[in-house]
Amino acid sequence: MKFSQVWIVLQKEITDLLRDRKTWVTSVLLPLLLIPGLMILIAKMQAGTEEAARNHIPIAVIGQQAEVEKAITSYEGIEVVKTDDPKQALADGEVRAVVEIDEQFAQKVQAKQPATVNILYNPAEQKSSIAQGVLKGLLDGLEQQLMAQRLAELNISAEAIKPLDVQTVDVSTDDQKAGSFLGFIVPLLLIVSCVTGALPAATDLMAGEKERGTLEALLTTPVNGMAILTGKLITTSLMGFVSAIASTIAMVIAAKILPSVLGGEADGFGLSLSFLSAGNVALMLVMLLGLAVMFASLMLCVSSLAKSFKEAQTYLAPFMIVAMVPVYATMFTSPQDAPLSYYFLPVVNATMMVKELLYGTVDFTHITYVLGSTLLYAAIAVGVASKLFRREGLIVKG
């Protein structure tokens, strides 16, 4: 196989793809436009929904007790709704929570006994959960007030009944916070983009050309068959790689502009992007290249089994699921909890390596395992594609 022949085939395939606007729109332009737009839209909707839920909280009250009603109505957004059946109103969504006051509340408070106040809410409804949180905070304040009164009557200081002062201290770094938030989104974007970017090229360069008869014509030229396969493989891998890079750039742009777009609603959305150091980016690019070659080889194998362009699209569609399942399976697994075997499993290893880098951890032993195993899987996939391409019955239209 001569490199000059590979270069000729590569130029031909790249030229064909450059003329195909749909491929570039799907693989590069859409991620660049859609990902920042979707991230901003989701963040704005989340912030807007929570603000609206806190500004107006219709509730119902069962029982009467002036102190409790005064405590809960001190919150400006709470509206007490009069209804004959408060529980049914909660089930129907007419109120977001029901405050049920103990009938013996006053007597129990007077007798210095615990009085019950129940908050009924629907945890399946986000607005009802927010209402429960607001009411719980207001009633905790009332509890502290009543406790202070009792202690004052008994001439006991508040510190005397508090033997422990338990404080929670946040020791996580900005990198770890960002890693916790981005640890699912970034691997998903990178890995799925490798598939979505390569899919149109793999479909057209093998099954499409076979259906049009151009693959047979190409094989009759003096160019070596392996040079043809290598040219197609590089082109398909390149499309997956470029798509993954475009998705990453789009995600970084979105993370950068999100605070300024959301303004006062941006609390909790500020993310550290310090993981994007030159060394980490270089490691991720090597990993993505191996992943792109592996997916491209497997897709060309599957595409060669199809007799038509549409048939290849059907066969290649499950690759999306194959790419997404390992990412979803490790969604709640932090790098500290991941068993060593995860760094050798295909796709899972790439997910764990990206997660480690997002958490600010650079473990060269794990990186060696991931890059080594990914390149090995890529080499095996290339070997399988090479073997299939030698079978004339698969690549020639029957």
Sign of torsion over alpha carbons 261, 267, 269, 271: positive
User: What integer pLDDT is reported at residue 395 of this predicted model?
Assistant: 66
User: What integer pLDDT is reported at residue 1 of this predicted model?
Assistant: 64
* Buried/exposed 95-123: b ≥16 CB within 10 Å, e otherwise: bbbbbbbbeebeeebeeeeebebebbbbe
Is the model's pLDDT at 268 over the cut of 70? no
Beta strand 97-101 with 57-62 is: parallel
Is the model's pLDDT at 243 over the cut of 70? yes
Kindly state the percentage of the chain with pLDDT values over 90: 20
Q: Are 128 and 160 in contact (CB under 8 A)?
A: no
Q: Are 205 and 235 in contact (CB under 8 A)?
A: yes
The model's pLDDT over 219-240, given as tens digits with 9 standing for 90+, comes to 777 777 788 888 889 999 998 8
Q: Are 308 and 209 in contact (CB under 8 A)?
A: no
Is the model's pLDDT at 310 over the cut of 90? no
User: What integer pLDDT is reported at residue 159 of this predicted model?
Assistant: 78
Is the model's pLDDT at 269 over the cut of 60? no
The model's pLDDT over 42-94, given as tens digits with 9 standing for 90+, comes to 777 777 777 888 888 999 999 888 888 888 888 888 999 988 899 999 998 89
- 306-322 mean pLDDT: 87
286 or 250, higher pLDDT: 286
Enumerate the H helices of the chain as residue ranges: 3-19, 21-24, 30-55, 66-72, 86-91, 105-110, 126-153, 174-202, 209-212, 214-219, 225-262, 278-305, 309-316, 318-329, 348-358, 364-389, 392-395
The model's pLDDT over 323-370, given as tens digits with 9 standing for 90+, comes to 888 888 888 888 888 899 999 999 999 999 988 888 878 889 999 999
Question: Range(s) for CATH 3.40.1710.10 in the chain?
Answer: 56-160
- 10-33 mean pLDDT: 78
Q: Are 266 and 40 in contact (CB under 8 A)?
A: no
Cβ contacts of 362 within 8 Å, gap of 6 or more: 279, 280, 356
Q: Are 50 and 130 in contact (CB under 8 A)?
A: yes
The model's pLDDT over 96-143, given as tens digits with 9 standing for 90+, comes to 999 999 888 888 888 888 889 999 999 888 889 999 999 999 999 999
Beta bridge partners of 61: 99
319 φ, ψ (degrees, to nearest 5)? -60, -30
User: What integer pLDDT is reported at residue 297 of this predicted model?
Assistant: 92
Q: Are 216 and 397 in contact (CB under 8 A)?
A: yes
Is the model's pLDDT at 257 over the cut of 60? yes
- 13-23 mean pLDDT: 77
21 CB burial (10 A radius; 0-12, 13-18, 19+): exposed
Q: Specify the CATH class of 56-160 in words.
A: alpha beta
Q: Are 86 and 98 in contact (CB under 8 A)?
A: yes
